[in-house]
């Protein structure tokens, strides 16, 4: 067994210090480990310095200073491994929820919104902040810390902007532009000029910067992405035409009430009752339309009808959230509307002998395109997971049907 003398021990200790080990306790621990290895394993034919150099790589991957850096990290960041584990778990959960939510969204299945909100919220407020904290501890240069911070902040804002855009919540465009501004005017310049100055990373930095620039430009193109103008115009024109016909029918019916002359008090009484019931039913429908518009505009003054139709074409979620519970049962407003239609049909039958009210049919229907011939309710057929423009058109058409039947009673 080889025994180290004081001069050799001092040589090892000084070499440990030269290699960047600054903590005295860590220096002594390393010294003890290295001395034990040398004394137990050093063969007689080898020199001390030669054997010392050969065993030193056992304690590091690239350089001995790694031990000092890892020790500093553990001392100043005691929960490093726990946070790293939470980061990985949260990233896995958020990615899974986002993928499932996107698939549910495409298939128009219930639960899509909840999964998307869960996935993006976790990645924005758990995964990315933890990623920033952990990565910032691993780099020393201030510029590198800024790159990590700006990249994480950009990811948070962009994720939330996508969520707001998909959910049709206000503020999505502002958040999107803010994220792109951070990418183009802060992150990219710092990343490019930091990396291009280093000959080892120059080429990779230039290639990565080009890819980031192209990806950012593509995201900028998606800010105002919406259906084609022809689809927007067709939807707007169809809804506007039905609205105009409904207003015209209402005016004509009001004129008929004014011109109604009869000696029969019974006829006069029935006409007044018809007018009151028709107006109440149309007002119930108008209230539902107002609730949907208030939901999508967050209670603010709505945009013009044309802009509202343009921005919400293809929005399945807003009408469904307003009119249905989470378990897909109709809410009170829709139930009351169906009940009021039933009462109106009874009035037509008893006071005007109108047995054929097919325009106000609220019976269950066969689900269109279903190979199993599934029967669904009138409410779901017309308003559940139906695009915004179609829901508004169906409601206006219902108002028009009421006026048409009302007019038939006034002949």
When pLDDT is cut at 50, 70 and 90, the band that residue 263 belongs to is: very low
Task: Say if residue 255's pLDDT is above 70.
Answer: yes
Task: List Cα–Cα distances, 197 to 181, 186, 404, in angstroms.
Answer: 24, 17, 77
If you average pLDDT over each of 87-91, 200-204, 234-238, 257-261, which comes out highest?
Answer: 87-91
Each residue's pLDDT tens digit, 300-350 = 666 677 677 766 777 778 888 899 988 889 999 999 999 999 999 999 888
Task: Say if residue 369's pLDDT is above 60.
Answer: no
Phi (first) and psi of residue 31, to 5 degrees: -55, -45
Each residue's pLDDT tens digit, 73-101 = 666 666 777 888 899 999 999 999 999 99
The 3-state secondary structure of the chain, one letter per residue:
CCCCCHHHHHHHHHHHHHCCCCCHHHHHHHHHHHHHHHHHHCCCCCCHHHHHHHHHHHHCCCCCHHHHHHHHHHHHCCCHHHHHHHHHHHHHHHHHHHHHHHHHHHHCCCCHHHHHHHHHHHHHHHHHHHHHHHHHHHCCCHHHHHHHHHHHHHHHHHHHHHHHHHCCCCCHHHHHHHHHHHHHHHHHHHHHHHHHCCCCCHHHHHHHHHHHHHHHHHHHHCCCCCCCHHHHHHHHHHHHHHHHHHHHHHHHHHHHHHHCCCCCHHHHHHHHHHHHHHHHHHHHHHHHHHHHHHHHCCCCCCCCHHHHHHHHCCCCHHHHHHHECCCCCECHHHHHHHHHHHHHHHHHHHHHCCCCCHHHCCCCEECCCCCCCCEECHHHHHHCCCCHHHHHHHHHHHHHHHHHHHHHHCC
Q: Which is more confident, 168 or 19? A: 19
pTM of model > 0.95:
no
* CA-wise closest residue to 134 among 179, 71, 80: 80
Percent of the chain with pLDDT over 70: 89
When pLDDT is cut at 50, 70 and 90, the band that residue 371 belongs to is: low
């Amino acid at each position: 067994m080889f025994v180290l003398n004081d001069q050799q021990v001092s040589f090892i200790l000084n070499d440990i210090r030269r290699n960047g080990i600054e903590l005295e306790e860590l220096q002594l621990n390393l010294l003890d480990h290295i001395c034990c290895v040398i004394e137990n394993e050093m063969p007689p034919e080898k020199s001390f310095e030669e054997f010392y150099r050969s065993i030193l790589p056992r304690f590091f991957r690239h350089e001995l200073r790694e031990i000092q850096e890892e020790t500093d990290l553990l001392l100043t960041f005691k929960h490093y491994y726990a946070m790293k584990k939470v980061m990985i778990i949260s990233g896995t959960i958020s990615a899974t929820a986002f993928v499932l939510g996107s698939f549910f969204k495409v298939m128009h299945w219930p639960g899509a919104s909840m999964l998307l909100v869960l996935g993006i919220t976790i990645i924005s407020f758990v995964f990315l902040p933890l990623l920033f904290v952990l990565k910032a501890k691993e780099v020393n240069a201030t510029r590198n810390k800024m790159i990590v911070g700006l990249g994480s902040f950009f990811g948070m804002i962009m994720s939330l902007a996508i969520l707001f855009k998909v959910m049709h919540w206000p503020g999505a465009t502002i958040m999107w532009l803010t994220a792109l501004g951070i990418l183009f005017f802060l992150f990219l310049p710092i990343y490019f000029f930091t990396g291009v100055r280093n000959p080892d990373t120059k080429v990779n930095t230039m290639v990565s910067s080009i890819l980031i620039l192209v990806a950012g430009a593509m995201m900028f193109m998606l800010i105002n992405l919406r259906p084609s103008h022809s689809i927007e115009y067709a939807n707007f024109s169809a809804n506007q035409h039905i609205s105009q016909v409904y207003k015209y029918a209402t005016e004509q019916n009001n004129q008929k009430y004014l011109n109604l002359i009869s000696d029969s008090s019974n006829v006069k009484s029935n006409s007044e009752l018809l007018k009151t019931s028709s107006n109440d039913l149309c007002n119930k429908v108008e209230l539902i339309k107002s609730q949907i518009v208030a939901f999508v505009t967050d209670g603010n003054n709505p945009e013009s009808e044309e802009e509202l139709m343009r921005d919400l074409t293809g929005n399945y979620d807003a009408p469904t959230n307003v009119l249905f519970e989470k378990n897909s049962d109709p809410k009170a407003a829709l139930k009351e509307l169906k009940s009021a239609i039933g009462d109106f049909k009874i009035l037509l039958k008893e006071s005007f002998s109108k047995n054929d009210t097919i325009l106000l049919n609220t019976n269950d229907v066969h689900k269109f395109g279903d190979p199993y011939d599934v029967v669904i309710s009138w409410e779901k057929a017309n308003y559940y997971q139906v695009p915004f423009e179609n829901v508004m058109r169906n409601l206006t058409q219902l108002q028009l049907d009421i006026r048409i039947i009302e007019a038939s009673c006034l002949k």
